[in-house]
Amino acid sequence: MRVVFIGPPGAGKGTQAERLVETYTMAHLSTGDMLRAARDAKTEVGLKADRYMSAGQLVPDEIIVAIIAGRLGQPDCGQGYLLDGFPRTIAQAESLDAMLAEKDTPLHVVLELQVPEEELFERLAGRGRADDTPEVIRQRLVAYREQTAPLLKYYGGQELLRSIDGLGSIDEIFQRAKAVLDEFAD
C-alpha cells in the first residue's frame, strides 16, 4: 500500500506513522528523520538543509526530491510505503506523480490528520525540540498554511484525499487512521 500522510507540524503525524508502519507492511519514509540524520552526519546535503530547517523553512524542492527519488528505488519500498513529511509543496507532489507514473505504482490514498492551528502552537511550544522556538514554530505553521495546505485540494482533485480528526487520544486517532487504511490494505 502506498500512502501519503499529510498534517501540520505538531499534529502527531510521527506518532501515528510509527504505529501504522507496525500494523501494515510498508516502509516508513520520514523526510524530517532523513534530513535530521543527514544533518547529524554532517553531509553536504545535511548541512545545507539545516540552514532551512533551523529557520522553520522548507528545504528546497530539488534537495528533497533527489532524496526521495533515491529512497523510492530501494527494495523495501516495493512492498509499499508511508510517506511522512513529503510532499510538502505542489512542485514536490508533481515530481512524485511523475516518479510514480514512470514506475506504474500510483498512490492508494492520501491521509490528512486535521488539527486546528491554535492547538498546534500549544503542542509545539511544549515539545522542546531545537527547532521549536516560538518564532520558528510560527514560521513552520506559515510554511504549512501557504505551501503544504494547497496539496489538500490537489489530492482532493485526484480523489485520493481522506481526512481524519486529529483531536483525541493517540489510540482513538490511530483507530480512525486504521479504519481508512484498512480499505486499501491487501
Binding residues (CB under 6 A) for ligand ADP: these are 9, 31-32, 35, 52-53, 56-59, 64, 85-86, 88, 92, 140
Closest contact distance (angstroms) between CB of 58 and ligand ADP is 4
Taking each helix axis from N to C end, the angle separating 61-72 and 44-53, rounded to the nearest 10 degrees, works out to 130
Please list the helix, strand and coil fractions of the chain in percent, rounded to the nearest 5, in that order: 55, 15, 30
Closest contact distance (angstroms) between CB of 48 and ligand ADP is 11
85 or 166, CB closer to ligand ADP?
A: 85
Report which residue's Cβ sits closest to ligand ADP: 32
59 or 181, CB closer to ligand ADP?
A: 59
142 or 179, CB closer to ligand ADP?
A: 142
Closest contact distance (angstroms) between CB of 71 and ligand ADP is 12
Specify whether the CB–CB gap between 1 and 186 falls below 8 A: yes
16 or 31, CB closer to ligand ADP?
A: 31
What is the spatial distance between Cα 70 and Cα 131, in angstroms, rounded to a whole number? 26
3-state DSSP call for residue 104? coil
